[in-house]
Amino acid sequence: MNLSKYNQYLPTILLLLAMVLWSSSFIALKIAFRSYDPMVVIFGRMMVATLCFLVVYKRVTRLLVLKRSDVFLMIFMAFCEPCLYFIFEAKAIENTTASQAGMITALLPILVMITASIFLGEKTGVKGWAGAILAVVGVCWLTVSGAPTEDAPNPVLGNLLEFTAMICATGYTLVMRFLAPKYSPLFLTAVQAFVGSVFYLPILFLPSVQFPEKIEFIPTFAIIYLGAVITLGAYGLYNYSLKYVPASRAASFVNLIPVFTVLLGWMVLGEVFTPMQCVAAAVVMGGVILSQQSSYGNGDNAESAVKQAEITDQKNGAGMR
């Protein structure tokens, strides 16, 4: 598919859809964790995603030319996310609200901005650094202002664990930005699901993991939704978009996750923000918006990424069809 005419529209639409799906994952996790052990939920999610990819195995591996030098990067990518990322996020969701966890994800664009400037050569201006500092202040404020509830017994610990998950997501984004122009997004997402399944299988047999005594419909449906829709859909859309836009620009869309998560948390779980948390959230969003202003102006990098991705698609037939 030639994206020359649509490079300013299609990646944006796909990223928006990915953010909506990712926002709903916090709600689905919260529902699943009420009945199942977090490790059972995550393994189930990975297995559902792996089974979905087995259905489209031929399409995923069609015309695949795997470079040996990229294998280590793929393993590292999957180790960052979903392996370590989901462990930290699962423990975070156990201790904080879905809404607050969604707010912590607002730090991801800043972390990607900083590391992308170091490893990918993406430039960051004064506004970018000022926004990064402001957002960190807002996140600290949000963290200490959290009040314990039945579903959030330790919001300070939960928010800290969610921040650690964002560090893992940063490593995943940088490596994916490097690999995305070379390989099919479906293949890279399948690697994540398969490595995640292998990683979490032995964890199920730890003494601390509790197997469910009975199967409940809604939590089970949440697991299927996480594997089939979030892993296959959200990661697939995000991975595909990284073929055509710089890492810092793609990560900036994560700013929308807190907004969507708060709305979904209110609609589905009945969660609310205190006035102090609302102000802290506004500080986070203001800092993130300020930090991302310069990244959107980097049109040359975006256009170059599109051209390179189109050349790769023509060579290996890995484009969206």
Range of the domain at 98: 10-316
Instruction: Tell me whether residue 3 is in a domain.
Output: no
Residue 236 domain-assigned? Answer: yes
- Per-residue pLDDT reduced to its tens digit, 174-196: 998 889 888 888 889 899 999 99
218's CB contacts (< 8 A; 6+ apart) are 31
Q: What is the largest CA-CA distance in the chain?
A: 56
Q: Is residue 321 part of a domain?
A: no
DSSP annotation of 41: H
* 4 in any annotated domain: no
Residue 106's nearest CA partner among 321, 258, 242 is: 258
Dist CA 47 CA 200 (whole Å): 10
Cα 240 to Cα 207: distance, rounded to the nearest angstrom: 39
Number of folded domains that form the chain: 1
Query: Which burial class, exposed, middle or buried, applies to 57 when counting CB atoms under 10 A from its CB (0-12, 13-18, 19+)?
Result: exposed
pLDDT tens readout for residues 212-227: 888 999 999 999 999 9
Q: Tens of pLDDT along 259-268?
A: 677 667 777 7
Residue 102: pLDDT band (50, 70, 90) is: low
pTM for this predicted structure? 0.73
297 in any annotated domain: yes
> Quick check: is 5 in a domain?
no
Q: Which amino acid is at 263?
A: L
Distance (Å, whole) CA 3 – CA 311: 11
Residue 2 lies in a domain: no
CA 26/CA 38 separation, integer angstroms: 13
H helix runs in the chain, sequence order: 10-33, 38-55, 57-61, 68-78, 85-95, 98-104, 108-119, 126-144, 155-179, 185-200, 217-225, 235-241, 247-252, 256-264, 275-292, 299-316
